[in-house]
Structure 1
Amino acid sequence: MDLFSDLPEPTHTVPGEGHPKTPVPSLFDDLPPASDTPVNSDKEICSIPPVTKEVKAEKRKAEDKNGSKVQKIAEKKVCKGIPKLKGYVAARKGEREEMQDAHVLCDLTADVSPLPDSVSHLAYFAVFDGHGGTRASKFAAQNLHLHLASKFPKGEVSNMEKLLKKCLIDTFRQTDEEFLKHASSQKPAWKDGSTATCVLAVDDVLYIANLGDSRAVLCRVFEEENKKITALPLSREHNPTQYEERMRIQKSGGTVRDGRVLGVLEVSRSLGDGQFKRCGVICTPDVRRCQITPNDRFFFLACDGLFKVFSPEEAVSFVLVTLEDQTLELKEGKTLQDIQYESACHRLANEAVRRGCADNVTVLLVAIQH
């Protein structure tokens, strides 16, 4: 049985890439606005309120005494039963001179109007790992979710999954084009680039879009199977050593040396990196869909700094051990869950640095409450 699945492929061609994309093999506030993460910051981000199945209100039309039509009454939604999501962030500069990672947690519900009839709530989580500077990751953190909200399907729609995949692909393309236009106008031109791993929670379904080597991982615990723990990969890495990625780069006239594009760039898909776009580096994300189940405890997004010293399974186990730590000190104004997840997020980032990761480390941990 598939635990998650790829979304159907939208029928469109990405400008500048010459051919339609093939399907991916296999597979939200009170939140602060997008901002830079201070070095060594540990932040608990407030929760996404619980929501539920939408009860469609009867749409009524009436005419006033002058015969003009009154606007349709807004559809009402009843909120209960859908998992509550709460996010926590820890970021470490490591041994790098500057912090090039960026992250965003935000509620997009109010930014999409009218919401599709089948949707009650939208939440967005993202991690961006910059290289060559901080400008691409900052730009993506400030703009990508705004484009996503503006392109999100509205009102009555059919085939939501197909529309969402197209929406996410178009959002990444627009963000990339805008950054490259701005970067090329500078003197000297900016050469920054960034990975992107984004999770859009649509009620109880996660849509994951990613470029590069940052990752998203879901913890699923099967209580009926003696608490069997599974670390489900929600994203797929893109590096030039992979066959399909290398073939695309070579067909575009680029080369792969020492596992890098032109012997320089470690990823084969990214935002920015204008000097590598002619060599087959693209901004088209893989898009996957995952249904949240009662067995799901949390998911996390992290840059490659974490995965240089942790496997996904080790990271999940590390978080679970902290969540079960009975010695954590209670703090006034914070729930036990806040303390547990905050500590788990902080400890995971700290441990990555202790294990010798010299890169920036950003961990965005999202608790799932049923």
Structure 2
Amino acid sequence: MLSKQVFRVLGKEAQKGSLLFDGLPPASSADSGSGGPLLFDDLPPASSGDAGSLDASPSQTGKNEGKGAKRKTSEEEKNGSEELVEKKVCKASSAIFGLKGYVAERKGEREEMQDAHVILNDITEECRPPSSLITRVSYFAVFDGHGGIRASKFAAQNLHQNLIRKFPKGDVISVEKTVKRCLLDTFKHTDEEFLKQASSQKPAWKDGSTATCVLAVDNTLYIANLGDSRAILCRYNEESQKHAALSLSKEHNPTQYEERMRIQKAGGNVRDGRVLGVLEVSRSIGDGQYKRCGVTSVPDIRRCQLTPNDRFILLACDGLFKVFTPEEAVHFILSCLEDEKIQSREGKPAVDARYEAACNRLATKAVQRGSADNVTVMVVRIGR
């Protein structure tokens, strides 16, 4: 249990403003197709309950860059070079929040279960990060397959392995920039591996999958997302004394302007809200037959600093969100966590029993509400 003094220190750190992430390659350099601009957004501070858009406003971005950028000499301006000083978060006064994942899945009315998931509460030893900079690494992911289970299963088996191999192990100047480059390379490599294997089959596999991954590096979350699965953070608002559901990920469907423009520029089209009238998502792993039409494996990446007011993270496929809003899902989970009738079993702590029950009840309720899709519900408890 952290002391109130540490809670206050962490709360102040979370409200200091956005870190600067310049110098990263554009989406088009990480993939043969143009993936659009990457998002490097920060969530509101712990005292804020705003669950609206996470995009930083131009005025806020300008202020942050103005504070972080060094003055350029006239010669540097001619060359177009720019150096940015990244704000350093003092870790000496912060304790690492414990993370533990729980999951439940339902096949629903589908003939087979095409979802997959991964829970790795602690992969610090496997990643072998610079010990002076990083003390804990965790990984949680949900994959929603379509056209078969092979793409989602492949991503669940290989994406985190590629991430571990590419994770920074030596001295790094910026942990944030290095981790984000690592995620970009990991998604690109995993997609290329699957497409190579899929194209070698006769007939070629046509499977595809969404991917929503949360990589926790100490108390910083990096959320990488493809498609329409989602990650939601439950954060307590001290001012309103209510819990808010904050979106950590961005959905990708071909009806969105930027996604549609990329698809049309690549020679594809959008009919009835789908790529070529068939595919519902505009970014995915696999779907080789649509990659030449502008479908890309370049993820949106967002960053979120955990605070003492954060309760849990919800990762789920669209089978849940077809019948639950994020707010409804968060409050459903909270009601389960506060249900004292849920008793521990087989020597498990009561808190584990309640989180497991929350996952199972929410997945079952989604099917009862009429979700005909596969349903996967993962809840990551944020420990104190």
1:283 and 2:284 are equivalent in the alignment: no
User: 1:95 — aligned with what?
Assistant: 109
Summarize the Cα distance change of 1:208–1:264 in structure 2 as closer, same or farther, 3 Å threshold.
same
User: 2:318 — aligned with what?
Assistant: 304
1:171 and 2:191 are equivalent in the alignment: no
On the 8 A contact 2:147/2:207 being kept in 1, the answer is: yes
On the 8 A contact 1:220/1:229 being kept in 2, the answer is: yes
Please report how far the alpha carbon of residue 20 of structure 1 lies from its aligned counterpart in structure 2 after TM superposition.
8.2
Please report how far the alpha carbon of residue 226 of structure 1 lies from its aligned counterpart in structure 2 after TM superposition.
4.6
Whole-angstrom distance in 2 between the partners of 1:227 and 1:366: 22
On the 8 A contact 2:40/2:302 being kept in 1, the answer is: no
Whole-angstrom distance in 2 between the partners of 1:6 and 1:101: 35
Aligned residue runs from structure 1 range 210-225, under 5 A: 210-222=225-237, 224-225=238-239
User: 1:254 — aligned with what?
Assistant: 268
Summarize the Cα distance change of 1:238–1:114 in structure 2 as closer, same or farther, 3 Å threshold.
closer
Q: Secondary structure at the match of 1:221?
A: strand
On the 8 A contact 2:110/2:372 being kept in 1, the answer is: yes
1:136 and 2:151 are equivalent in the alignment: yes
Please report how far the alpha carbon of residue 154 of structure 1 lies from its aligned counterpart in structure 2 after TM superposition.
1.3
Q: Structure 1: state its 5+ residue gaps.
A: 28-77
2:370 to 345, 350, 356: 356
The alignment's TM-score, normalised by the length of structure 1, stands at 0.82
Structure 1 stretch displaced more, 329-338 or 87-96 = 329-338
**Deviation above 3 Å: which 4+ runs of structure 1?**
1-9
Q: Secondary structure at the match of 2:292?
A: helix
User: 1:369 — aligned with what?
Assistant: 383
**Deviation string, structure 1 residues 99-142 (Cα, Å, up to 9, x no partner):** 00000011321112253521001110000000000000000000
User: What RMSD over aligned residues (CA atoms) do the two structures have, in Å?
Assistant: 2.2
Structure 1 stretch displaced more, 359-368 or 2-11 = 2-11
1:327 and 2:327 are equivalent in the alignment: no
Which has a greater percent of strand? 1
Summarize the Cα distance change of 1:152–1:356 in structure 2 as closer, same or farther, 3 Å threshold.
same
Task: Tell me which amino acid in the other structure corresponds to 1:108.
Answer: I
Task: Tell me which amino acid in the other structure corresponds to 1:293.
Answer: T
The alignment's TM-score, normalised by the length of structure 2, stands at 0.79
Whole-angstrom distance in 2 between the partners of 1:344 and 1:140: 26
Summarize the Cα distance change of 1:152–1:158 in structure 2 as closer, same or farther, 3 Å threshold.
same
User: 1:86 — aligned with what?
Assistant: 100
Summarize the Cα distance change of 1:2–1:365 in structure 2 as closer, same or farther, 3 Å threshold.
farther
Whole-angstrom distance in 1 between the partners of 2:367 and 2:20: 34
Whole-angstrom distance in 1 between the partners of 2:202 and 2:230: 33
1:200 to 190, 211, 215: 215
Whole-angstrom distance in 1 between the partners of 2:35 and 2:256: 20
Over the matched positions of the two proteins, sequence identity in percent amounts to: 64
**Deviation string, structure 1 residues 71-115 (Cα, Å, up to 9, x no partner):** xxxxxxx9x921111110100000000000000011321112253
User: 2:356 — aligned with what?
Assistant: 342
On the 8 A contact 2:36/2:258 being kept in 1, the answer is: no
